[in-house]
Amino acid sequence: MLLDIALYLAVGAAAGLLAGLLGVGGGLIIVAALAWLLPLRGFPADHVMHVALATSLASIIFTSLSSARSHWKRGSVLWPSVKALVPGLVIGGLAGAQFASLLPSNVLRFVVAGYCLVAAAQLRYGQVRPGHAETGAAPAGPRLLAAGVAIGVVSALVGIGGGSMTVPLLVWLGVAPVRAVGTSAACGFAIAVASALGFVYGGHAAASGLPTGSLGFVYLPAVAGIALASILVAPLGVRLAHALSGAALKQVFAGFLVLMGIVVAFSG
């Protein structure tokens, strides 16, 4: 039990650092770690990835709050963009969680791994759209509502707070990378709440016989350890984000995504 707690705290610390630094709730590192750990703790193989995704999203509820608060204090959250994205994120998160609950665990494993590699390539080689240089303006409007639905669905399928999509989208629309990171952190809260609720329902519907401490597909002991550490460490990531250049942030983010894709792919 003590070893489990130590592992959850370590994963949470890494997730919190990435939440502040990259605008994500550390979801990919949580999913990758749990994909390795849960089979060793007696979780049924058929639902390892479901639990990993659901637990990641539940912990992101707390991580994203800590990260968003730190970014807000530094003035790097574009609230008009958050307001435009949130309705779509909630709809997409709920729908994506329901769909993920129906997919086999091994299918989800390769969905997550493939997503990591595609997102890394997009961030590494994608460019800001011509005519949309950094202006400081906050993108808004119906286009962000539609984008929010897509981001919410994919986020639920891969257990993340959406930063690896929201950040590139906002950068493409001309937002400075550090402000895109802060805005993404705020959006991650909406995605996490909606998706986690979807997985709670999906887990009960699956009647999967999960270990004690499970709420649907959400494993509460892991959520507690991960959330505690991530909340404490997220402000450090925010400080690092503001110390690095925009180009450096993009390179760090892309390299991180490639590493997580490899880890998840071989965790089975």
Q: How many domains does the chain have?
A: 1
pLDDT in tens, 182-233: 899 899 999 999 999 999 998 887 666 788 889 999 999 999 999 999 888 8
Instruction: Between 121 and 189, name the one with better pLDDT.
Output: 189
Mean pLDDT, rounded, for 141-151: 93
Q: Which domain holds residue 25?
A: 2-266
- Percent above pLDDT 90 for the chain: 35
* Structural contact between residues 16 and 233, judged by C-beta atoms closer than 8 angstroms: yes
pLDDT range class, residue 140, cuts 50, 70, 90: confident
C-alpha–C-alpha distance, residues 161 and 214, integer Å: 21
Q: At residue 238, does pLDDT exceed 60?
A: yes
26: left (phi over 0), alpha (psi -120 to 50) or beta: left
Q: At residue 245, does pLDDT exceed 70?
A: no
Q: What is the DSSP letter of 103?
A: S
Strand, coil or helix: what is 246?
A: helix
pLDDT range class, residue 157, cuts 50, 70, 90: very high
Q: At residue 34, does pLDDT exceed 80?
A: yes
Mean pLDDT, rounded, for 44-63: 91
C-alpha–C-alpha distance, residues 158 and 50, integer Å: 10
* Residue carrying the six token digits 């592992």: 7
User: For residue 85, what are its two tokens?
Assistant: 């994205």
pLDDT for 239 equals 80
pTM of the predicted model, to two decimals? 0.84
Mean pLDDT, rounded, for 14-18: 79
pLDDT for 158 equals 92
* Structural contact between residues 74 and 182, judged by C-beta atoms closer than 8 angstroms: yes
Q: Which amino acid is at 204?
A: H
pLDDT for 168 equals 81
pLDDT range class, residue 131, cuts 50, 70, 90: very low
Q: At residue 267, does pLDDT exceed 80?
A: no
CA distances (Å), 65 to each of 19, 182, 186, 189, in order? 10, 11, 7, 6
Instruction: Between 83 and 181, name the one with better pLDDT.
Output: 83
Q: At residue 258, does pLDDT exceed 70?
A: yes
Q: Kindly give the interhelix angle for 142-158 and 177-206, rounded to the nearest 10 degrees.
A: 50
pLDDT range class, residue 123, cuts 50, 70, 90: low
pLDDT for 197 equals 96
- Nearest one of 96, 101, 69 to 194, comparing CA atoms: 96
User: For residue 44, what are its two tokens?
Assistant: 């049924």
C-alpha–C-alpha distance, residues 155 and 161, integer Å: 6
C-alpha–C-alpha distance, residues 27 and 33, integer Å: 10
